[in-house]
Amino acid sequence: MMKAFISESKGQTYFIKKRGISKGCQQCLNGEKAVLFLNGLCQNPEHCWWYCPISEERKNKNFTYINEIKITQTSQLLDEINKTSAKGLSITGGDPLFKPNLEKTLEYIKFIKSKKGKKFHIHLYTNGLGFNESIANALSQAGLDEIRFNPSKENWGVIEYALKKKMVVGAEVPMIPLKEYIDDLEEFVIYLDKIGADFINLNEFEYCFPNSKHLKEKGFRLKNGTIASVENSKEMALDFIERVASKISLKIHFCPIIAKDYWQLKERYMRRAKKIKEPYEDINSEGLLMYAQIEGNINQLTELNDFLLKKFKIPKKYLLFSNQAIKLPINVAIDKDFLELLDSKQVEGFIMEITPFREEDYCQITEKTPIKIFKEEIGINDD
């Protein structure tokens, strides 16, 4: 087999050029996937419990989230999918196929397929414990498009139950920088190729608060200049792909932490922002919403709002007036005459940057900059 060439995606992931990546990964990198965290219920299997990154607030808890928004009804799930113009859904946990979760997982798949159609792509993650022919058939009949396993070595065989079930079958595992782990991983990849699986995804090994104690005890160190990357995980992943690619024909994809925590989130924010943007807001390159906000007492704001409508002739749709503030477009706020007006009215003006949510629990102010300082930062000089 010819030497394989490793390509880098726009999201800084790596794959074998002529083989590509799974459809689920393609949608994730484009921000087209909504992420359903079914709950934190899991069997806590020996092979992965020690590096699990799920927070204490979620682990072993029966709470459901869609794109970090806590939900209790399927209608909320559908609403978030529509708000982000998602083309697919990934189902994670915990383990969505853990016996207490299985019925709920199947219901979600059937519900979303009935509302969004057969082309709406759904994939899920499982550790494979308890997986069997019956579960494989149920998932296929419900409409699951893609399944990703992270099984123990003793349980690799369950993957074969998912083959020939109208689902794309693959594996997704962390790239743990240990020789014995990588030796087993090579054996696993060759096995996947032999049984006709479609892909394997290798994730950069993540160092986070929930697993930090166990990782320290096992001698893993944080990579310099990062906040979550385990030292040598990326380097060993790229070396591994280059070494084993010629031995197999399945897709291999390495996903670093930056792809999950930055690229995927940014693209998803961008889609959400476009859907919920108000006329007075702009969207920046990070998918965050930006606008100007004028603050003062109610009398000052009422007078200023009337002045902006009547004297500045600003259309009403570009102003949002409340007892606490006036929100308006940035291009209006940075005008020299407008700033002189603010001084004369003795009110304060800021440029706001927020996450693209309307729900108070999830909308966060990421920056609040006085207008004059903002102008200096972007290089606007009125002199």
Pick the residue with more confidence: 381 or 322? 322
Q: What pTM value is reported for the model?
A: 0.92
> What is the DSSP track for 101-126?
HHHHHHHHHHHHHHHH-TTSEEEEEE
Q: pLDDT digits over 228-251, tens only?
A: 999 999 999 999 999 999 999 999
* Average confidence (pLDDT) over 282-304: 96
DSSP at 55: -
Asked whether the beta carbons of 246 and 2 are under 8 A apart, the reply is: yes
Q: Are residues 84 and 181 in the same domain?
A: yes
Which of residues 272, 298, 332 is at a domain's end? 272
Tell me, yes or no, whether 382 lies in a domain.
no
1 in a structural domain: no
Residues 347 and 240 in one domain: no
Between 2 and 375, residue with greater pLDDT: 375
Does residue 244 sit within a domain?
yes
Report the number of distinct structural domains present in the chain: 2
Task: Quote the distance between the C-alpha of residue 171 and its chain's center.
Answer: 19
Q: What are phi and psi for residue 183, nearest 5 degrees?
A: -60, -45
d(CA 49, CA 206): 13
CA 241 to chain CA centroid, nearest Å: 24
- Span 60-67, average pLDDT: 96
Question: What pLDDT, on the 0 to 100 scale, is given for residue 380?
Answer: 82
pLDDT tens, position by position, 175-226: 999 999 999 999 999 999 999 999 999 999 999 999 999 999 999 999 999 9
Give the structural domain span for 92.
6-272
Instruction: Give me the pLDDT at residue 383, please.
Output: 61
Q: In this predicted structure, what is the pLDDT of residue 381?
A: 76
Average pLDDT score over residue span 330-339? 94
303 and 155 co-located in one domain: no
Confidence of residue 311 (pLDDT cuts 50, 70, 90): confident
Q: Are residues 303 and 228 in the same domain?
A: no
Domain boundary among 272, 307, 331: 272
Question: Within a domain: residue 306?
Answer: yes
Of 234, 249, 272, the last residue of a domain is 272
Tell me, yes or no, whether 187 lies in a domain. Answer: yes
Unique residue bearing structure tokens 């459809």: 23
Q: For residue 94, is it left (φ>0), alpha (ψ between -120 and 50) or beta? A: left
Whether residue 152 is found in the same domain as residue 30: yes
Structure confidence at residue 46 (pLDDT): 95
In this structure, the answer to whether residues 337 and 248 fall within a common structural domain is: no
Q: What is the DSSP letter of 206?
A: B
Same domain, 206 and 293: no
Same-domain pairing of 245 and 319: no
Relative to beta strand 325-328, strand 365-370 is unpaired
Is pLDDT of 3 > 80? no
Q: Report whether pLDDT(1) > 50.
A: no
Quick: pLDDT tens for 208-219.
999 999 999 999
Instruction: Please report, for the domain that includes residue 46, its CATH number.
Output: 3.20.20.70
Do residues 236 and 317 share a domain? no
Whether residue 171 has pLDDT greater than 80 = yes
* CB contact set of 129 (below 8 Å; sequence gap of 6+): 43, 45, 95, 98, 151, 155
Residue 323 pLDDT: 80
Based on the domain organization, do 60 and 207 belong to the same domain?
A: yes
Label residues 324-362 b or e (16+ Cβ within 10 Å = b): ebbbbbbebbbeeebbebbeebebebbbbbbbbbeeeee
- 109 and 181 housed in the same domain: yes
Distance of CA 184 to the CA centre of its chain: 29
